[in-house]
């Protein structure tokens, strides 16, 4: 019940395209859903986060869509750029306490 399932495992998108990564959770006590971006050799960096009282949050080219009834949330990267090539992790927590991470999606944006 503590798991967060993430898909796809890897994704190749053309420059300018839309990247979509999906996550699903079981624990209804989760109330904070961040997305982290990780470049090789670096620590995860917070990209964008959402609380379950809203269904969508947009920051620049990055949008989180949240479906509370389905217990799913997704990251959309609009106008994907080669510099977006990284591993993306969804996560969930109760409050801002221990983060439960998804398994990661390796995104490659081809020029």
Among 20, 24, 49, 108, binds another protein (CB under 8 A): 49
| Alpha carbon distance 31, 94 (integer Å) | 5
Contact pattern from residue 7 through residue 36 relative to another protein, giving x for each residue in contact according to CB under 8 A and a dash for the rest: ---------------------------x-x
| Nearer Cβ to another protein (13/47) | 47
| Alpha carbon distance 77, 60 (integer Å) | 9
Q: Minimum distance between the CB of residue 11 and another protein, rounded to whole angstroms?
A: 16
């Amino acid at each position: 019940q503590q798991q967060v399932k993430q898909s796809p495992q890897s994704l190749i998108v053309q420059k300018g395209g839309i990247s979509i990564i999906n996550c699903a959770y079981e624990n209804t006590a989760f109330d904070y859903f961040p997305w982290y971006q990780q470049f090789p050799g670096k620590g995860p960096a917070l990209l964008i986060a959402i609380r379950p009282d809203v269904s969508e949050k947009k920051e620049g080219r990055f949008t989180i869509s949240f479906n509370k009834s389905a217990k799913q949330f997704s990251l959309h990267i609009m106008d994907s750029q080669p510099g977006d090539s990284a591993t993306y992790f969804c996560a969930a927590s109760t409050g801002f306490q221990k983060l439960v991470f998804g398994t990661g999606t390796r995104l490659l944006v081809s020029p």
